[in-house]
Amino acid sequence: MLKNYEVESAHTWTGRVDSSTDFDSLRWHQWIKIIDLNDTSLKAFDGKFAFAFIGFECDHGIGLNKGRVGAAMGPESIRRELSNLPCQFSQDIKLFDAGNIVTYGLTLDQAQDCLSEAVNRVLELNMFPIVLGGGHETAFGHYKGLFKNFHPKKENIGIISFDAHFDTRPYKENGGTSGTMFRQIHDLNLENDEDFNFMVIGIQKHSNTKSLFNYAKENGIKYILSRETVNSSIPSLFEQIDEFISGVDHVYITICSDVFSTAFAPGVSAPTPLGVDPETAIVLIKHILSHDKAVSFDICEVSPRFDKDSTTASLASLLIFTVVTKVANIIEMNNKRRNKKIDKE
């Protein structure tokens, strides 16, 4: 049984109704189904493809990192923005709300362990996890759930993080924060004789110490500076991404909302005047997904208390919409190829 877990209320998913019978007119709030991950009668999904949303109501790591807390309320604000999105996919694609990990009274380590169990449970149910953070400490709990599922199969996981920060600061003396997760993942992999495959897109030089750049070089961390997403050609960025993905079995995509400038994402812990353009991020995300290796996704550090007009939550919902519709498109194309092959035979 999952600990510190709550089923999401169906009342969260409400919105405009254009039709209740025409699928092409439906919105996400009409298509999503609420599930309880602690329901032992749940069976693994056996349809074409399913996404499951998990909320991680935690910003302990941000507080420990001396940042602006508030991201624990992120899942609620993101769900509100997701509700009215149109179903731009076939009826074979299913959406499930898999509830929330609530972390009041827990240590950061305990909260991350709870999230890891929830992610692993979703994978066991044959669904694609989309985790709604929470601070970017979400990434360590999310990865541990993936690791628990894929490591026994000897399948490695490449992490592609969209972030202004490396988040690889030392942690062993004072414990983990929202700035240490990827060093913790590195150490977890080392302890288990697993390669560390990590790429960061959107790094800001003014937001990372020289020591962090040294750590990246020493440990083979690939990164693309924020300014390179403006000054370099898209094909050259694709080449770097392709080279990284070619060396891994699966890809986990994680986004910290502070990778975008405050013009697009004011509701974050560490706002910045500069950042990756969301349109560029969407192009890169679609390219990553086109490799058909993605197994999970999260969006972190959406903080409603600083979010003017729900701008950041709205951007988060558009990024999730991109992931869902692109993956759905890939599934549909693969099915068409499979059917053509069967017809030829």
Domain residues for 302? 5-344
Res 257: pLDDT: 98
Q: How far is CA 177 from the centre of its chain?
A: 18
Instruction: Give the residue from 181, 191, 52 showing the smallest Cα distance to 125.
Output: 52
Task: Please check whether residue 118 is in contact with residue 145, taking contact to mean a CB–CB distance below 8 angstroms.
Answer: yes
Q: What single-letter amino acid sits at 287?
A: H
Radius of gyration over every alpha carbon of the chain, rounded to an integer in angstroms? 19
Burial class (CB in 10 A: 0-12, 13-18, 19+), 283: middle
Give the model's pLDDT for residue 336: 78
23: domain CATH number is 3.40.800.10
Q: Are the C-beta atoms of 238 and 201 separated by less than 8 Å?
A: no
pLDDT at 338: 73
pLDDT attached to residue 337: 80
**Residue-level pLDDT at 335:** 81
pLDDT in single tens digits along all 345 residues of the chain: 999 999 999 999 999 999 999 999 999 999 999 999 999 999 999 999 999 999 999 999 999 999 999 999 999 999 999 999 999 999 999 999 999 999 999 999 999 999 999 999 999 999 999 999 999 999 999 999 999 999 999 999 999 999 999 999 999 999 999 999 999 999 999 999 999 999 999 999 999 999 999 999 999 999 999 999 999 999 999 999 999 999 999 999 999 999 999 999 999 999 989 999 999 999 999 999 999 999 999 999 999 999 999 999 999 999 999 999 999 999 999 887 877 666 665
Give the position of tokens 């628990």.
148
Which residues, 6+ apart, have CB-to-CB distance to 105 below 8 Å?
none
For residue 171, give the nearest of 153, 186, 156 by alpha carbon: 186
Q: Supply the DSSP symbol for 247.
A: T
How many domains, the chain?
A: 1
User: Would you state the pLDDT for residue 344?
Assistant: 62
The confidence score (pLDDT) of residue 120 equals 98
Q: Which residues of 300-318 are buried (b: 16+ CB within 10 A; e: fewer)?
A: bbbbbebbeebbbbbbbbe
Model pLDDT, residue 133: 97
